[in-house]
Amino acid sequence: MKSEAVDWLVLLGVILPLLLGTYHRNSLWNNELELWQDNIRKSPKKERPRAHLGFIYLELGRWDEARETLEESLKLNPVYAPAKYNLGLAFFRKERMDEAIHCFEEAFELDSNFSESVYNVGISYLKKRRYGEAADAFNRFLELRPDYKHARNSLGLAYQGLKQLDRAIEAFREELRHHPGNSHSHVYLGFLYKEMKDDSQALIHFREALTYPDLTNGDDVREAIAFIEAAQKEREKGRGDGQR
């Protein structure tokens, strides 16, 4: 099992809730779609209906239509922060990280209420594996929103990417101090200690993660536990054979 692949699988559980929220692919969004399409027909020169329609396309996973509609909104009003922010989300989903970062930074400059933009800048840099810029963005975000769930986990991932492992551990532990119910923190700590060859600490955090009912990647955690336990048995067997 490649630890990097597991890191990004786990990270996915952090990215999606904070960037896009929970999807509702049902009649609610279809009704909203028709509503805002009708609003555009009635008010073709207003930026707000197009921005709302772009958001609905995001919720439906229709990324290209979201981008096109949000760009139309910004042509009508280039300083409309909601459209700029959601355009960043559309670019992120299309893996166009540089454009996503630019949109998120501009959205925050236009309206400081869009503080999640700063967080999303960090996530975008994580995806580009530019860990120093990611850490800077997360630290900047934590100054704005010190109690935001997951932010310290993401900061820990950035420090892990920089090989600043003590700082990564502290970030994950800080997340648990602020949000004791965050199972991701134990998973991150487990994989980090596994990378550091500290099997006893890795097992403590993996087993603790399995006690959380909301754990979404339990199979990866159980696989990691099995891998460590098998390695421990092999070492014990080797020591026993050596003493004969």
Q: What is the pLDDT of residues 156-165, one digit of tens each?
A: 999 999 999 9
CA 43, CA 146: separation in Å to the nearest integer? 40
pLDDT of residue 138: 96
| Same domain membership, residue 157 and residue 56 | yes
CA distance 6 to 126: 15
- Predicted local distance difference test score (pLDDT) of residue 8: 45
CA distance 135 to 179: 20
User: Would residue 54 count as lying in a domain?
Assistant: yes
Is residue 126 a contact partner of residue 134, using CB atoms and an 8 Å limit? yes
Looking at residue 37, its pLDDT comes to 85
pLDDT tens digits, the chain, 244 residues: what are they? Answer: 444 434 544 454 454 445 544 344 445 566 778 787 878 888 888 999 999 899 899 888 899 999 999 999 999 999 999 999 999 999 999 999 999 999 999 999 999 999 999 999 999 999 999 999 999 999 999 999 999 999 999 999 999 999 999 999 999 999 999 999 999 999 999 999 999 999 999 999 999 999 999 888 888 899 999 999 998 888 887 776 666 5
Do residues 182 and 154 touch, judged by C-beta distance below 8 A? no
- Looking at the structure, do residues 126 and 214 belong to the same domain, yes or no? no
Convert 93-128 to b/e letters by CB count within 10 Å (16 or more is b).
beebbebbbbbbbbbbebbeebbbbbbbbbbbbbbe
Q: Are residues 106 and 162 in the same domain?
A: yes
In a domain, 242, yes or no: no
In the block, residue with structure tokens 């630890």: 3
pLDDT at res. 22: 37
Handedness of CA 2, 166, 156, 202 (dihedral sign): positive
88 and 123 in a single domain? The answer is yes
CATH number for the domain harbouring residue 68 = 1.25.40.10
